[in-house]
């Protein structure tokens, strides 16, 4: 009885592994993925690059904020990037926030650090109406909300291909017209957002040269922080917790060995 | 086994003696967790019951704290979770522990189930113990599914849509049942509200069934890697300190891996799309459940017919209820089943293949692959297991646990 069984088993195992191998080969195909970049906040000890994130805020405020909200953040949160309260107040001094006065009448007043980031449009319908029918996504957790995270956001910001640089095959395959924005990394390639960044789109106060790549990597650093402001605390706590658990496991192992010494 | 517990303990502390005379909780703990005779030959697979218990407690504690800060309303749920992540002191910690904890609870329970299957722990006289375990698994699945809906992200909403719609496959009353589940004609605030209520309730039902599971366990005691019954005191050790210490060590090691994920890759086990607020007008390209449901999701989609798929999916768990009677072998442990132990391994591979299919869109090669894997899954339980028990020639069993342990030590 055992021989045919073994044969069956081997056949089953071979069939299964062949199938899995075939599937893995298919899964590895197609679509261009944004290249992997090194980010300051990666790895078990990575932290946010404060200078880059502050520059990134500038890019957000001067470029992205025209269309994208960041509604889960308050201006006071910027202090976590190393700014003082007065610096934050300085940054927001020209921003007017809609509010109600004591008589219940709608007014605009200067922004306070406790205010949430001002939304560029009063509501989603207005945002959609101003942007060809589709509201630009809120950016508060955008780095966590996309496959590929920071690499993907960076890829989108730098992945535009002008119409005259496209191959005839690309134009045909994705039916691109002169009015479309073609992005290498966007699923389907036609993206509503026109290329947002360009060389010297902003002027950095710290003298950093504002190339498109620099702006993109700075704003990704800022948005990564916005998506998870407590990441550094998480990693710091994690190191302590794991060191504690390692010590506890070692201690318990020693006790277990002692207890079992007479039984093995 | 139960009869060998010995004389009731005497408590020197007067308060404890007074209480115990009226409510014998101390006697109970003494009997069931101290002197309780436990086979001396457990391997580390036997840690996972204790590990699962620790995870259950951890999930309930973190869950209660989260519930005090969460708002079950369609317009506020997503933001309230983000508020926990950003503004509630240590809220990020509690939420990551809970979110990652769900995955690690399933990891512990799946390994626990594998151990039960490999060593034949479901066989007489432990059938009810096993069935209670399958009920716990079902309750966990329901709880995890509803918990995943609460952050009200895209996968929450669309996962809920897919799973609740399954009940629509039931003939005649299907649509009425779906409306009843939703609390309306679409997934909306009533759905979220009831899922929150049930997500809070079910863990305590799980605790109750776990209690029954433990009571049933303590009637005949634990199975062991040899699958033979202890024949006397030389085959067992008291539960404490031998297994309290061994479980403690196992729990600590498990927690290290869990903490590694919770603190250094908390989002790696989830879908990024759940950080996009739920939008009933935009369907995600691929709707995928959490990883621990993927094999069942693959079975659901492997059957071309909707009702058939639903039946197959529920059947894949249902078949576990009758596992004790499908297995016709006299021998419990795979250690002594030279053929079946390899088929156990093939079943594990099959479940991983199903999981892989479940994670990918149902097109191209994934369709036949998931169908073959689904057929194999049922073939294993419904045909292979009953037949193999009759024709397989098991290896000779050792005369006793002590004999096997001491021989191994000598050799």
The pLDDT tens digits for A149-167 are 999 999 999 999 999 999 9
Residue where the block lists tokens 């055992």: A2
Provide the pLDDT for residue A28: 40
The tally of CA atoms less than 13 A away on the side-chain side of residue B407 is: 7
Q: What is the mean pLDDT of chain B?
A: 95
Distance CA B280, CA B364 (A): 28
Q: Of the candidates B403, B30, B406, B411, which has an alpha carbon nearest to the alpha carbon of residue B232? A: B403
DSSP A153: H
Specify the pLDDT at position A263.
82
Q: Are B65 and B59 in contact (CB under 8 A)?
A: no
Mutation target to probe the A interface, by most A beta carbons within 10 A, among B39, B44, B82 is B82
Residues of B in contact with A245 (CB under 8 A): 252, 255-256, 259
Domains of chain B by start residue, with CATH: 36-289+322-337+394-410 (1.20.810.10)
Q: How far apart are CA B78 and CA B72, in angstroms?
A: 9
- Using a CB-CB distance cutoff of 8 angstroms, which residues of chain B are in contact with residue A233? 92
Chain centroid to CA B81: how far?
26
Q: What is the mean pLDDT of residues A201-225?
A: 96
Interface of A with B in 40-69 (CB under 8 A): 44
Residue B2 pLDDT: 42
What is the C-alpha end-to-end distance of chain B, expressed in Å? 29
Q: CB contact, 8 Å: A27 with chain B? A: yes
B242 vs A259: CB contact, 8 Å cut-off? Answer: yes
Residues A43-68: tens digit of each pLDDT: 999 999 999 999 999 999 999 999 99
The pLDDT assigned to A264 comes to 65
pLDDT digits (tens, 9 = 90+) for A117-130: 999 999 999 999 99
Distance between CA atoms of residues B332 and B335, nearest Å:
9
pLDDT the model gives residue B265: 96
Chain B residue with CA closest to A14: the answer is B346
Residue A174 CA from chain centroid, whole number: 26
Listed by number, the residues of chain A in 163-202 with a beta carbon closer than 8 Å to a beta carbon of chain B are 187
The predicted pLDDT at position A1 comes to 39
Tokens 């509604």 belong to A71
pLDDT of residue A24: 44
Residue A9, chain B, CB below 8 Å: the answer is: yes
CB-based contact B346 A229, cutoff 8 Å: no
Task: Please give the pLDDT value at position B411.
Answer: 65
Query: What confidence score (pLDDT) does residue A120 get?
Result: 95
Closest CA to B204 of B335, B384, B323, B56: B56
Task: Give how far A172 is from chain B: nearest CA, Å.
Answer: 23
Gap between the Cα atoms of A116 and A72, Å rounded: 7
pLDDT in tens, B197-223: 999 999 999 999 999 999 999 999 999
Residues of chain A with Cβ-Cβ distance to B338 below 8 Å are 2
Catalytic positions of B, written as ranges: 218, 222, 246-247, 290
Residue B6 confidence (pLDDT): 55
Model ipTM value: 0.93
- Which of B73, B70, B284, B69 lies closest to B188 in space, CA to CA? B73
Chain B residues near residue A248 by CB distance under 8 angstroms: 252
pLDDT at residue A219 greater than cutoff 70: yes
pLDDT of residue A262: 86
CA B201, B206, B208, B209 torsion: positive or negative? positive
CA–CA dist B361, B1 (Å, integer): 51
- Nearest 5 degrees, angle CA B74-CA B78-CA B83? 130
Mean pLDDT of A63-79: 96
Q: What is the pLDDT of residue A7?
A: 53
Give the model's pLDDT for residue B1: 39
pLDDT digits (tens, 9 = 90+) for B312-347: 999 999 999 999 999 999 999 999 999 999 999 999
| Angle at CA of residue B373, ends B368 and B378, nearest 5° | 125
Domain boundaries, chain A: 50-235
CA-to-CA dists, residue B388 to B317, B338, B383, angstroms: 21, 11, 8
Residue of A108, A70, A104, A75 whose CA lies nearest to A91: A75
Nearest by CB to residue A9, choosing from B241, B252, B346, is: B346
Interface test with A, best of B58, B259, B390, B392 (most A CBs within 10 A): B259
Note whether A72 contacts B: Cβ–Cβ < 8 A.
yes
Looking at the complex, report in whole angstroms how far the Cα of residue A130 sits from the nearest Cα belonging to chain B. Answer: 19
Q: Does A50-235 carry CATH code 3.30.1490.20?
A: no
Chain B residues whose CB is inside 8 A of the A77 CB are 86
Task: Confirm or reject contact between B245 and chain A (CB < 8 A).
Answer: yes
> Which residues in chain A have their CB less than 8 angstroms from residue B245's CB?
252, 255-256, 259-260
- Nearest-CB residue to B92 (from A77, A230, A241): A230
Report the C-alpha gap between B244 and B24 in whole angstroms: 21
Question: CB neighbours of B109 closer than 8 A, spacing ≥ 6?
Answer: B48, B52, B136, B137, B140
CB contact under 8 Å between B272 and A22, yes or no, is no
B161-181 pLDDT, tens digit per residue, is 999 999 999 999 999 999 999
> Which of A6, A146, A245 is the closest to B256 by Cβ?
A245
- pLDDT tens readout for residues B7-63: 678 899 999 999 999 999 999 999 999 999 999 999 999 999 999 999 999 999 999
* Residue A119, phi-psi category: left (phi > 0), alpha (psi -120 to 50), beta (remainder): beta
Give B107-147 pLDDT, tens digit per residue: 999 999 999 999 999 999 999 999 999 999 999 999 999 99
Cα distances (Å, whole numbers) of residue B81 to B262, B263, B275: 17, 18, 10
Under the banding of pLDDT at 50, 70 and 90, the label for residue B409 is confident
User: Which candidate from A147, A233, A249 shows the least CB-CB separation from B252?
Assistant: A249
pLDDT-above-90 percentage for chain B: 95
Of the candidates B222, B251, B256, B257, the one whose C-alpha atom is nearest the C-alpha of residue B47 is: B251
Task: Give the CA-trace dihedral at B365, B367, B373, B379, to 10 degrees.
Answer: -130
Q: How confident is the model at residue A29 (pLDDT cuts 50, 70, 90)?
A: very low
Please give the average per-residue pLDDT across B291-320, as a whole number: 96
């Amino acid at each position: 009885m055992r021989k045919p069984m073994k044969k069956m088993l081997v056949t089953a195992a071979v069939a299964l592994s062949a199938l899995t191998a075939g599937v893995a080969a298919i899964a590895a195909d197609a679509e261009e993925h944004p290249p992997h970049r090194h980010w300051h906040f990666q790895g078990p000890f990575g932290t946010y690059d404060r200078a880059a994130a502050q520059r990134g805020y500038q890019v957000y405020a001067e470029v992205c904020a025209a269309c994208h909200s960041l509604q889960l953040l308050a201006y006071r949160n910027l202090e976590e990037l190393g700014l003082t309260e007065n610096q934050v107040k300085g940054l927001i001094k020209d921003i007017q926030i809609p509010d109600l006065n004591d008589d219940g009448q709608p007014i605009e007043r200067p922004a306070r650090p406790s205010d949430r980031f001002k939304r560029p449009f009063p509501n989603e319908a207005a945002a959609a109406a101003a942007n060809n029918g589709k509201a630009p996504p809120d950016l508060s957790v955008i780095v966590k909300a996309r496959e590929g995270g920071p690499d993907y956001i960076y890829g989108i910001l730098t992945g535009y291909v002008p119409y005259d640089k496209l191959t005839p095959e690309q134009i045909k395959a994705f039916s691109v017209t002169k009015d479309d924005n073609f992005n290498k990394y966007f699923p389907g390639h036609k993206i509503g957002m026109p290329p947002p960044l360009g060389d010297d789109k902003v002027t950095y106060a710290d003298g950093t040269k504002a190339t498109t790549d620099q702006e993109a990597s700075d704003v990704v650093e800022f948005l990564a922080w916005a998506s998870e402001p407590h990441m550094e605390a998480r990693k710091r706590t994690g190191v302590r917790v794991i060191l504690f658990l390692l010590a506890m496991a070692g201690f318990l192992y020693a006790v277990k060995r002692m207890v079992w010494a007479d039984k093995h | 086994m139960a009869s060998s517990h010995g004389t009731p303990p005497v408590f020197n502390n007067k308060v404890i003696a007074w209480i115990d005379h009226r409510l014998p909780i101390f006697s109970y703990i003494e009997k069931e967790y101290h002197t309780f005779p436990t086979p001396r030959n457990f391997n580390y697979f036997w840690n996972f019951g204790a590990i699962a218990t620790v995870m259950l407690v951890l999930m309930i504690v973190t869950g209660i704290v989260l519930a005090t800060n969460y708002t079950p309303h369609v317009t506020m749920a997503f933001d309230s979770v983000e508020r926990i992540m950003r503004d509630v002191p240590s809220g990020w910690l509690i939420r990551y522990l809970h979110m990652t904890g769900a995955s690690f609870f399933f990891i512990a329970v799946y390994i626990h189930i594998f151990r039960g299957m490999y060593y034949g722990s479901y066989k007489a006289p432990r059938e009810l113990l096993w069935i209670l375990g399958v009920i716990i698994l079902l309750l966990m699945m329901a709880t995890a599914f509803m918990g995943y809906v609460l952050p009200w992200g895209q996968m929450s909403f669309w996962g809920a849509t897919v799973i609740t719609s399954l009940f629509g496959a039931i003939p005649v009353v299907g649509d009425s049942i779906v409306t009843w589940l939703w609390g309306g004609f679409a997934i909306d605030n009533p759905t979220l509200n009831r899922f929150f209520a049930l997500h809070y309730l079910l863990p305590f039902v799980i605790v109750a069934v776990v209690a029954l599971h433990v009571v049933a366990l303590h009637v005949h005691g634990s199975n062991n890697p040899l699958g033979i019954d202890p024949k006397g005191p030389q085959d067992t050790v008291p539960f404490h300190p031998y297994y309290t210490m061994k479980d403690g060590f196992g729990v600590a090691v498990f927690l290290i891996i869990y903490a590694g994920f919770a603190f250094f890759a908390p989002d790696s086990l989830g879908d990024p799309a759940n950080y996009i607020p739920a939008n009933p007008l935009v369907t995600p390209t691929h709707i995928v459940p959490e990883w621990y449901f993927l094999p069942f999701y693959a079975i659901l989609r492997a059957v071309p017919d909707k009702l058939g798929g639903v039946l197959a999916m529920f059947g894949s768990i249902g078949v576990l209820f009758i596992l004790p009677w499908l297995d016709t072998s006299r021998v419990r442990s795979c250690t002594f089943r030279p053929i079946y132990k390899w088929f156990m391994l093939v079943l594990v591979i099959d479940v991983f293949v199903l999981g892989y299919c479940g994670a990918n869109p149902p097109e191209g090669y994934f369709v036949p692959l998931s169908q073959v894997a689904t057929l194999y899954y049922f073939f294993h339980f419904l045909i292979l297991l009953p037949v193999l028990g009759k024709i397989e020639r098991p290896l000779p069993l050792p005369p006793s646990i002590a004999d096997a342990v001491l021989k191994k030590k000598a050799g």
